[in-house]
């Protein structure tokens, strides 16, 4: 029987959630025994190659590319999980929701202290994804099946959730694993 397939992506996050996944230490050896990885920053596969059992999303959506990737994950993943506070609430990036989008662009491309932009224009390069007018959590864009709170969720939290999902159970985590203060 083929191993279950797992895919992960970092949208508007800091990669801290992925680092936490690496933090499971030697259990990583068990993990590669248990599953095959599809698209994931760690194996550098850029596009999902086929049906996926579990998708893990770090980060919320701040631009059109994030939306695109998230929709792709939703289409291919049986179970989709919002991992970490950025995916669930928007997190730190969502602080920019208090600033008008024009000011964000101007600070980044025109006025910021380290900016050198003789054209004096906001770039229209297609390589730079268009920003959404506000950073939104993943579940506002697509249906999300499970949420793992934490910034980042601890390695134990991620491990407990993954093993539960692989066993076909909803990750019902004990209080100690989802309490942060």
Partner 1 sequence: MTTTAEQAAAAICAEHGDDRTRLLDILLAVQRRHGRLDDGIIDALAARLGIPRVDVAGVVSFYSFLGDEPRGRIVIRLCNDVPDLMVGADKVAEGLEEELGIRFGETTPDGRFTLEWASCIGMSDQAPAALFNDVVVPNLGPGAARRLVRELKLHPEVADLRRLIVREYGDGKNSHDLVRAAVKNNIRRPGEVILADMAHGAGLRKALAMSPAEVIREVKTARLRGRGGAGFPTGMKWEFTRAGDAGQRYLVCNADEGEPGTFKDRVVLTERPDLLFEGMTIAGYAIGASRGLLYLRGEYAYLREYLEHVLSERRGQGLLGEGVCGKAGFDFDIRIQLGAGAYVCGEESALISSCEGLRGDPKNRPPFPAQRGYLGRPTSVNNVETLCCVPRILEMGSGWFASLGSRKSTGTKLLSVSGDCTRRGVYEVPLGTRLRAVLEMCGADEPVAVQVGGPSGQMVGPADFEREICFDDLATGGALVVFGAGRDPLAIASQYLAFFIHESCGYCTPCRVGNVLLKERLDRIRAGRGEAADLDYLQTLGQTVKAASRCGLGQTSPNPVLSTLRSFRSAYEALLVTPAGGAQPGFDLEGRLAEAKALTGRGSVHFGS
Beta carbons within 10 angstroms of residue 77's beta carbon:
23
Segment near ligand SF4 (CB under 6 A), from 38-46, 81-89, 110-118, 136-144?
Answer: 81-89
The residue within the footprint of ligand SF4, chosen from 17, 54, 80, 158 (CB under 6 A), is 17
Q: Strands 131-136 and 61-63: what pairing?
A: antiparallel
The residue within the footprint of partner 1, chosen from 48, 87, 142, 178 (CB under 8 A), is 142
The residue within the footprint of partner 1, chosen from 46, 50, 118, 143 (CB under 8 A), is 143
Alpha carbons within 13 A on the beta-carbon side of 119:
7
Binding of residue 157 to ligand SF4 (CB under 6 A): no
**Joined tokens for residue 178:** 């989802």
Binding of residue 40 to ligand SF4 (CB under 6 A): no
The residue within the footprint of ligand SF4, chosen from 131, 151, 155, 164 (CB under 6 A), is 151
**Angle between helical axes of 27-34 and 155-166 (0-180°, round to 10):** 20
């Amino acid at each position: 029987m083929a191993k279950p397939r797992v895919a992960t992506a970092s949208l508007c996050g800091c990669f801290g959630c992925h680092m936490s996944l690496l933090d499971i230490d030697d259990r990583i050896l068990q993990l590669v025994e248990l599953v095959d990885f599809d698209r994931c920053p760690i194996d550098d596969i850029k596009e999902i190659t086929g049906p996926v059992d579990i998708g893990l999303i770090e980060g919320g959506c701040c631009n059109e590319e994030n939306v695109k990737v998230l929709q792709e994950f939703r289409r291919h993943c049986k179970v989709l999980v919002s991992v970490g506070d950025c995916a669930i609430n928007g997190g730190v990036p969502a602080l920019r929701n208090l600033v008008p989008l024009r000011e964000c662009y101007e600070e980044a491309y025109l006025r910021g202290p380290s900016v050198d932009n003789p054209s004096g224009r906001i770039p229209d390069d297609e390589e730079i994804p268009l920003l959404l007018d506000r950073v939104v959590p993943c579940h506002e864009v697509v249906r999300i099946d499970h949420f793992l709170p934490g910034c980042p969720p601890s390695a134990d939290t991620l491990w407990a959730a993954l093993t539960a999902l692989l066993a076909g159970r909803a990750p019902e985590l004990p209080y100690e694993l989802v309490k942060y203060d």
